[in-house]
Amino acid sequence: MDKLIAAFPSNIQQALEIADKATIRMTNGTINNIVICGMGGSGIGGKIVAQWLQNECKVPILSCQDYTLPAFVNEQTLVIGSSYSGETEETLFAIREAHAKGAQIIGICSGGTLKSFCLENDYDVIIVPGGNPPRTALAFSLVQLVAIFTKLNFVASQRLVEIERGRQLLEQELDHIHTEAKKVAAVLQEKVPVVYAGANYEAITVRAKQQFNENSKELGWQHVIPEMNHNELVGWGGGDNRYAVWFLQTGDLSERNQKRFEISVDITKKYSQSVHVSEVVGSSIIEKSIYLIHLIDWASLYLSNLKNGDPIEIKTIDFLKGELAKIK
């Protein structure tokens, strides 16, 4: 796993090269909304990109993690199916439904059924390298999704430049990322991890939870400011040292939300001795997100190492798939 995580910057570079060569045809009609379908390590890419682009893209973007699509999907909807293996059950169901509804479809995968379906029905499909755990291939879905939005003129090509700057940032900050990741792992050891950030980074906090789930074999949760101030903060009245809190200080919150962030840190410190704030580096939400993704990945691996765990093992998911395969 350490080699797969270390490959994140080079994966970004390779993904940018793939995106540059990819052909995405202009659609035949107006696109009024966009739905990105994907699960797990593929699905989180859709969530992250939707947040990155929500203040620039003039049509709504929805990230969908289920077998079915929203009722509004029709001929004016672009449905992007992102499945690293090309075999994700829920995504294939959703893409077939999109096809039946006459939606415009683009696929992102390493092969499999999704690739075959797209080619058979003359839909564009971007092929990425396969063979690794989907959660380690996030760079490929992030870059291809942003590339699709730029090629269809929904957002500026500058977003791909920001991704490249994020990759360069990782090279510059790598030593600090490792140092900080080890600190985070030490704080979270033998605790229930809780991750907080500003609302624009909600998808990144979800990524953190997922990585602690899969790599570290830990349950935990995440939330964002200001929403957590209206509900979850009250729950800290019952908090104690079972919980370790990781705050992601991105430096780009509004004045009021920054104050909420600082007060929330002070409140949680009253109930837990394990509260850590990480200062995030970067000049844009994309650069900061890329920095955080790499930091999160290393922190989840170092936490696994502290437990002498196996970050690759996914026996419970394999069992679930085996049981589902019995259903005709």
Could you list the active site residues?
Answer: 214, 230, 321
Q: Which residues pair with 106 in a beta bridge?
A: 80, 124
Cβ-based neighbours of 161, under 8 Å, separated by 6 or more: none
Nearest to 102 by CA among 83, 119, 86, 121: 121
Q: Are 272 and 240 in contact (CB under 8 A)?
A: yes
Q: Are 178 and 298 in contact (CB under 8 A)?
A: yes
User: C-alpha angle 186/190/191, rounded to 5°?
Assistant: 90
Helix, strand, coil % (nearest 5) of the chain?
55, 15, 30
Q: Please report the DSSP string for 117-149 in residue order.
A: HHHHTT-EEEE---SS-GGG-HHHHHHHHHHHH
